[in-house]
């Protein structure tokens, strides 16, 4: 795998780890409320739901890390699968929650997927 593709996979994994932290641990704080555009009241009411979403983002990050460190062909398969998962999750989020998710999640995942496939 190319250095650029590897760096992009790691960057997307780090992004999803950051989202995990925001959703699981900082959801009711000002940083997460600003990032997701929520009020203090809404954040308090949805804390458990956000933590669940954060856990799923952690699974995406874990899969991307696995793909980045595992030797091929397993590494390639894991990178491809989890980048597709991130892109699909981003499309769904953009359609149902915020269009911003398309640019934060889907576009980087598709760029990463293209780089991974080109490096093959």
Q: How many residues are there in the chain? A: 120
Report field, pTM of the whole predicted structure over 0.85: yes
Pair of tokens at residue 55: 């856990």
Residue 13 banded pLDDT, cuts 50, 70, 90: very high
CA 79 vs CA 16, 24, 120: distances in Å: 14, 24, 11
Residue 120 banded pLDDT, cuts 50, 70, 90: confident
For the cut 90, the answer to whether the pLDDT of residue 1 exceeds it is no
Structure confidence at residue 72 (pLDDT): 95
């Amino acid at each position: 795998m190319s250095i650029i593709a590897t760096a992009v996979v790691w960057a997307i994994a780090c992004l999803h780890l950051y989202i995990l932290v925001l959703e699981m641990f900082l959801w009711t704080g000002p940083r997460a409320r600003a990032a997701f555009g929520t009020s203090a009241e809404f954040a308090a009411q949805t804390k458990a739901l956000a933590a669940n979403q954060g856990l799923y983002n952690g699974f995406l990050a874990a899969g991307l890390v696995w793909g980045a460190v595992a030797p091929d062909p397993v590494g390639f398969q894991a990178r491809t699968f989890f980048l597709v998962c991130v892109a699909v999750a981003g499309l769904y989020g953009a359609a149902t929650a915020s269009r911003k998710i398309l640019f934060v999640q889907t576009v980087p995942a598709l760029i990463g997927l293209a780089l991974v496939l080109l490096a093959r």
